[in-house]
């Protein structure tokens, strides 16, 4: 347990220092949400209707933003080699790194989502629902992204390739995430899309570490 | 503990680096890998550590923990030093100590051994190339692993630090450790077994003094 905690602590420290990029994701999220009303115009009813979808797309893009460095930085400085030969199973390394990434970069964004939703003229109930679906659904995005990050870890400028690989895989999460946040209003909880979203997160938490670890082991230079 | 290779073949990018490599290292012995640039020294070390597959032959280790892979019983130190710029020397080493199966309390003695106690709280990015190298070398001491796989360990070290590191290697050998090292510079650790890799793809074995 101690090595896993040490890895988590290291990731937190790196994210917190200058250039770590913990807050960049939330700022990027805010920018995306801010830009949309400029494009759509000041129609408040339209904005409120599109609100959950806008927040979800912004969350998806903000998640991908920092994720390409998840293993790349470790591959470049040789840390990944040592982690492969450490006392930790590589699957656990993947899971811990994802947990650290989610808590440092995505969780602030989930917490800020209701605030940003105000700019999209969403009402109180809708804001709460979106925050809840983001909290439940974004771990799946992180885990799916981790597979792409592992595949492109040793590539220079692999970030773009990672986005191309990961975005199609994230579509189901996006569909059910948006469905759960816009359909839940007036429905009895738990609504069906919400349960599917939860299932996707649980499945990705269980399966993605193995896929990402296999990718790290086999895609090496 | 004993590490041996029989008839090893290694290829990189479709190109054959060497064939028919035999070597053997026992407890308390060092094996020096020599050869010109591109002869496959680093690749051989990476393959022993388990990062690259050999295309043929057998790599064996006897003694030590039979359950664990060779790589898990070895310290690998390559050109990349595995130190994160944003963290201090102490934070970097404390992390690796725990992840290598040791404990963080070994960090100070290890840094002291390499004469680096004063940079404990410095972010690694603020260190000179030589100091940074010594922090990376201190990683070998924070958790005990019997096999050391070193790729040009003395790069960027000044004369005094090279002598210091020679004594560290001597100490490791005297405790029954074994070292496989690729280097161009003399290491100052006395007699060592030697492997020469050359362009023709043949490997020869001898003893260097």
Could B99 and A6 be called an inter-chain contact, meaning their C-beta atoms sit closer than 8 Å?
yes
CA distance B70 to B54: 14
| Segment A123-144, tens digit of pLDDT | 888 888 899 999 999 999 999 9
- Does a structural domain hold residue B159? yes
Token duo for residue A156: 């220079």
User: Which residue from A131, A68, A134, A136 is spatially nearest to A101, judged by alpha carbons?
Assistant: A68
Could A78 and B82 be called an inter-chain contact, meaning their C-beta atoms sit closer than 8 Å?
yes
Q: Which residue has the higher pLDDT, A189 or A163?
A: A163
Residue with tokens 């290291």: A10
CA distance A26 to chain B (A): 21
- What pLDDT does residue A199 have? 95
CA distance B184 to B38: 13
Domain borders along chain A are 2-218
CA distance A153 to A166: 14
Residues B23, B14 contacting (CB under 8 angstroms):
no
**What does the mean pLDDT of chain A come to?**
88
- What pLDDT does residue B209 have? 41
Max CA pair span of chain B: 48
- What pLDDT does residue A20 have? 59
Residues B166, B181 contacting (CB under 8 angstroms):
no
CA distance B52 to chain A (A): 8
CA distance A96 to chain B (A): 13
| pLDDT average, residue stretch A74-83 | 91
- Residues of chain A that touch chain B, judged by Cβ-Cβ distance less than 8 Å: 2-3, 6-7, 9-10, 13-14, 17-20, 73, 76-79, 81-88, 220
CA distance B153 to chain A (A): 14
| Segment A14-38, tens digit of pLDDT | 888 866 566 788 888 889 988 988 9
Q: Shortest CB distance from A87 goes to which of B87, B95, B100?
A: B100
- Does a structural domain hold residue B84? yes
- Does a structural domain hold residue B19? no
Q: How many CB pairs under 8 A join A and B?
A: 74
User: Which residue from A126, A78, A134, A57 is spatially nearest to A102, judged by alpha carbons?
Assistant: A134
- Number of structural domains found in chain B: 1
Q: Is the backbone of residue B201 left (phi > 0), alpha (psi -120 to 50) or beta?
A: left
Omega of the bond prior to A190 within 30 degrees of 0, cis?
Answer: yes
Nearest CA in chain B to A15: B86
pLDDT at A51 > cutoff 50: yes
pLDDT at A95 > cutoff 90: yes
Nearest CA in chain B to A12: B87
Residue of B71, B86, B137 to mutate, testing the A interface (most A Cβ within 10 Å of its Cβ): B86
Three-state DSSP state, A221? coil
ipTM: 0.87
Within 8 A of B79 by CB-CB distance, chain A residues are 78
Mean pLDDT per 10-residue run, chain B (209 residues)? 88 84 88 86 90 88 79 90 90 92 83 87 90 92 91 88 90 91 82 73 55
- Does a structural domain hold residue B20? no
Could A13 and B86 be called an inter-chain contact, meaning their C-beta atoms sit closer than 8 Å?
yes
Within 8 A of B105 by CB-CB distance, chain A residues are none
Backbone angles phi, psi at B102, to 5 degrees: -100, -155
Could A77 and B101 be called an inter-chain contact, meaning their C-beta atoms sit closer than 8 Å?
no
- What pLDDT does residue A161 have? 87
CA distance B97 to B144: 9
* Start-to-end Cα distance in chain A: 30
Report CA torsion sign: B143, B124, A23, A211. Answer: negative
Please count the residues of chain A.
221
CA distance A135 to chain B (A): 29
Q: Looking at A65-179, which runs of residues are DSSP E strands? A: none
CATH number, domain with residue B138: 3.40.50.300
Q: Shortest CB distance from A14 goes to which of B86, B96, B98?
A: B86
User: Which residue from A120, A26, A39, A100 is spatially nearest to A65, judged by alpha carbons?
Assistant: A26
Could B87 and A20 be called an inter-chain contact, meaning their C-beta atoms sit closer than 8 Å?
no
Range of the domain at B196: 2-14+25-208
CA distance A155 to chain B (A): 15
């Amino acid at each position: 347990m101690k090595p896993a905690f040490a890895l988590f602590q290291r990731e937190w420290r790196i994210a917190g220092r200058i250039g770590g990029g913990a807050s960049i994701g939330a700022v990027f999220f805010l920018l995306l949400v801010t830009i949309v009303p400029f494009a759509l115009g000041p129609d408040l009813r339209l904005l409120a209707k599109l609100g959950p979808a806008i927040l979800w797309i912004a969350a998806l893009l903000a998640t991908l933003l920092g994720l390409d460095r998840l293993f790349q930085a470790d591959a470049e400085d040789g840390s990944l080699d040592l982690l492969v030969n450490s006392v930790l199973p590589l699957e656990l390394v993947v899971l811990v790194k994802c947990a650290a990434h989610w808590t440092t970069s995505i969780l602030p964004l989930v917490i800020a989502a209701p605030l940003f939703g105000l700019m999209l003229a969403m009402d109180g109930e809708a804001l709460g629902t979106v925050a809840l679906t983001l909290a439940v659904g974004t771990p799946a995005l992180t885990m799916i992204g981790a597979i792409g990050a592992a595949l492109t870890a040793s590539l220079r400028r692999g970030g773009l390739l990672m986005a191309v690989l990961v975005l199609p895989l994230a579509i189901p999460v996006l569909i059910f995430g948006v469905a759960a946040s816009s359909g839940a209003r007036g429905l009895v909880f738990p609504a069906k899309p919400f349960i599917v979203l939860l299932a996707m997160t649980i499945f990705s938490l269980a399966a993605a570490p193995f896929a990402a670890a296999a990718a790290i082991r086999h895609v090496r230079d | 503990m004993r590490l041996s290779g029989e008839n090893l073949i290694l290829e990189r990018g479709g190109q054959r680096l060497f064939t028919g490599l035999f070597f053997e290292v026992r407890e308390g012995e060092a094996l020096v890998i020599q050869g010109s640039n591109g002869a496959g020294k680093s690749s051989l070390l990476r393959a022993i550590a388990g990062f690259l597959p050999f295309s043929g032959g057998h790599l064996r280790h006897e003694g030590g923990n039979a359950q664990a892979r060779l790589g898990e019983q070895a310290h690998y130190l390559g050109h990349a030093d595995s130190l994160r710029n944003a963290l201090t020397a102490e934070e970097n080493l404390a992390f690796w100590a725990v992840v290598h199966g040791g404990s963080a309390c070994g960090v100070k003695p290890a840094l002291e051994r390499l004469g680096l106690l004063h940079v404990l709280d410095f972010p690694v990015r603020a260190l000179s190339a030589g100091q940074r190298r010594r922090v990376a070398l201190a990683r070998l001491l924070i958790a005990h692993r019997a096999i050391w796989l070193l790729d040009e360990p003395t790069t960027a070290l000044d004369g005094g630090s090279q002598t210091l590191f020679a004594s560290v290697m001597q100490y490791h050998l005297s405790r029954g450790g074994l070292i496989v090292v690729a280097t161009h510079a003399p290491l100052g650790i006395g007699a060592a077994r030697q492997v020469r890799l050359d362009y023709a793809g043949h490997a020869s074995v001898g003893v260097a003094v």
